[in-house]
Amino acid sequence: MSLPTPGNPSFPAGESSASAAVRCVHCGLCLPVCPSYRAFGTESRSPRGLLMLIRSFHESGLPIGNAYKDRIASCLLCKACGAACPSGLHPDEIVLAGRAESAASGLPFAKRFLFRLLADRPRLEAVLRLGARFQGLFLASSRPGKGPAPCTNGLRRPRFPWRPWLLHPARMLPGLAPVTLYRIAAASRRPSSIPTPVARVAYFPGCMTEFIYPGQGLAVIDLLEAHRVEVVLSRDFQCCGTPVLAHGDPATASLLAARNQEVMDRLFTSGVEAVVTGCASCAGTLKGYPALEGGRVYDAAEFLVEAIGLRSPRRECSGRVAYHDPCHALHGQGVSRSARRLLAAAGFEPVEPPRPGSCCGGAGSFSLAHPEPYLTLNDTRIDDLASTGAVTAASACPSCVMHLADGAARRGLGMAIRHPVELAAEAYRKN
């Protein structure tokens, strides 16, 4: 996990966030790439400023208050600063450790409840199933009686927006899927019918794909099977741990990691060769599991392009697609070419928006806790994508898809936001 662990370049064993922050040389090369610095415009919310803040608080012995917690919560954890740092520091990991230290006295009730729910899969599914049934009470259709308008990417406005936290009145949100990905796939696609597979992989869907975007998960499965890959599903997978880790709860993150590792160990013993996911954040976190280091976890496009090679599609698609790199793929894993090559193989023309590597502004709950800075970052990124002239944009992260779709819908743009695997699957499916 991305916390103080042996071998982590930012954290020698046993080092605190403050002692790691000392190694910052204050060069400022992190400032131009930091979305928080751009959105807030203050040094105290930049990587350099946050490291100075963490160090100062530790050295002063002052009690950690709400102002301190607010500052370190403003980091989007996009990892761009680590990629730019000439000293090899990863400020996002130091911030994560700072959050864990500040949360040591206890997390707020709402977060404790949510994280316990994430760690209890049966209860989580029950709660979300209930939420899917009654979500119409909270999310309004953009076309009463007809469902969401096409230009909204299937998103809806909240009926009761609250400010400043949770739901900004301008937001557009996706609904919960009425049926989970596992249930859909288990009913329609299992067992695999590939007679001589070239590989056998376990598919790790992640929470957003499982409960909000099952269509993305079905596309991953279809695309893998079109490349003669046998796909194994497991209902025992838990949340990868990214949300709880980001909020300063490494204990629950470690618990989730251990449970997922147990599932993967069983799958590897049964002949599974790799774990594939369509979520950039899940891929980054899973690759950080100590027992999975060494190339056993792949992003879906990364696996198809780099591990087994792309096959010729059944039909060729067309159109220009503006591609947005998820921060956790580009900065966190160095994965950027695979999705573009996949789109090109399917017949699409990937086009590059201005300001490559920019964040969509979502960053998990950042968009909820800091709605105005989120809108600033999101609008800027939507402008970048729209400037390409493409009517479709793609990103290999369900969270990025959600937030970019929100921006396109709020702006009234007729731009569809898709996962690249969804687009490519159209060229490889049998019908």
CATH code at position 380: 3.40.50
What is the secondary structure of 354-389 as a DSSP string? SSTT---S-TTTHHHHSHHHHHHHHHHHHHHHHTTT
Are residues 398 and 291 part of one domain?
Answer: no
Are residues 230 and 191 part of one domain?
Answer: yes
- pLDDT given at position 293: 59
- pLDDT given at position 78: 95
Q: What is the dihedral of CA 73, 76, 77, 79, to 10 degrees?
A: -140
Count of residues in the chain:
431
Nearest in space to 282 (alpha carbons), one of 329, 213, 337: 329
Are residues 331 and 290 part of one domain?
Answer: no
| 111 domain residue, yes or no | no
Last residue of a domain, one of 43, 68, 102: 102
Q: What CATH code is carried by the domain that includes residue 75?
A: 1.10.1060.10
**Is the pLDDT assigned to residue 317 strictly greater than 60?**
yes
- pLDDT given at position 7: 32
| 9 domain residue, yes or no | no
Are residues 423 and 337 part of one domain?
Answer: yes
3-state secondary structure 105-164: CCCCHHHHHHHHHHCCHHHHHHHHHHHHHHHHHCEECCCCCCCCCHHHCCCEEECCCECC
**Are 361 and 397 spatial neighbours (Cβ–Cβ below 8 Å)?**
no
- pLDDT given at position 426: 95
- pLDDT given at position 107: 82
Are residues 240 and 293 part of one domain?
Answer: yes
Single-letter code of the amino acid located at 261 = Q
| 156 domain residue, yes or no | no
- pLDDT given at position 205: 96
| 89 domain residue, yes or no | yes
**Is the pLDDT assigned to residue 150 strictly greater than 50?**
no
**Is the pLDDT assigned to residue 11 strictly greater than 70?**
no
Q: Lowest mean pLDDT: which of 20-34, 102-116, 228-242?
A: 102-116
| 344 domain residue, yes or no | yes
Selected residue with higher pLDDT from 159 and 229: 229
pLDDT tens for each residue of 39-49: 999 999 999 99
Are residues 232 and 346 part of one domain?
Answer: no
- pLDDT given at position 154: 72
Q: What is the pTM of this model?
A: 0.91
Selected residue with higher pLDDT from 346 and 24: 346
Q: From CA 214, how far away is CA 176, in angstroms rounded?
A: 10
pLDDT tens for each residue of 294-313: 569 999 999 999 999 999 99
Highest mean pLDDT among 17-31, 361-375, 377-391: 377-391
Q: What is the mean pLDDT of residues 248-269?
A: 93
Highest mean pLDDT among 3-17, 95-109, 157-171, 352-366: 352-366
Q: Which pLDDT band, with edges at 50, 70 and 90, does 149 fall under? A: very low
> In this structure, what token pair is assigned to residue 293?
């280091």
pLDDT tens for each residue of 175-214: 899 999 999 988 876 556 688 899 999 999 999 999 999 9
| 39 domain residue, yes or no | yes
| 150 domain residue, yes or no | no
Q: CA neighbours within 13 Å on the CB side: how many for 351? A: 17
Element (H, E) at 28: none
Are residues 424 and 325 part of one domain?
Answer: yes
Last residue of a domain, one of 78, 102, 126: 102
Are residues 367 and 294 part of one domain?
Answer: no
What b/e string do you get for 345-376 counting C-beta neighbours within 10 Å, with b at 16 or more?
Answer: bbbbebbebeeeebbbbbbbbbbbbbbebbbb
Q: CA neighbours within 13 Å on the CB side: how many for 292? A: 27
| 163 domain residue, yes or no | no
Are residues 300 and 335 part of one domain?
Answer: no
Q: CA neighbours within 13 Å on the CB side: how many for 128? A: 21
**Is the pLDDT assigned to residue 59 strictly greater than 90?**
no
User: Strand, coil or helix: what is 70?
Assistant: helix
Q: What is the mean pLDDT of residues 68-77?
A: 92
pLDDT above 90 as % of the chain: 64
Are residues 295 and 186 part of one domain?
Answer: yes
> In terms of residue numbers, what domain contains 228?
181-308
**Beta-bridge partners for 274:** 201
Highest mean pLDDT among 63-67, 148-152, 344-348: 344-348
**Is the pLDDT assigned to residue 8 strictly greater than 50?**
no
- Tell whether omega for the bond before 164 is within 30 degrees of 0, i.e. cis: yes
Last residue of a domain, one of 69, 102, 135: 102
The label of the residue with tokens 């002239």 reads 389
User: Strand, coil or helix: what is 250?
Assistant: helix
Q: What CATH code is carried by the domain that includes residue 242?
A: 3.40.50.1860
Are residues 277 and 324 part of one domain?
Answer: no
Calculate ∠ Cα 82-87-90, nearest 5°: 25
Number of domains in the chain: 3
Are residues 272 and 195 part of one domain?
Answer: yes
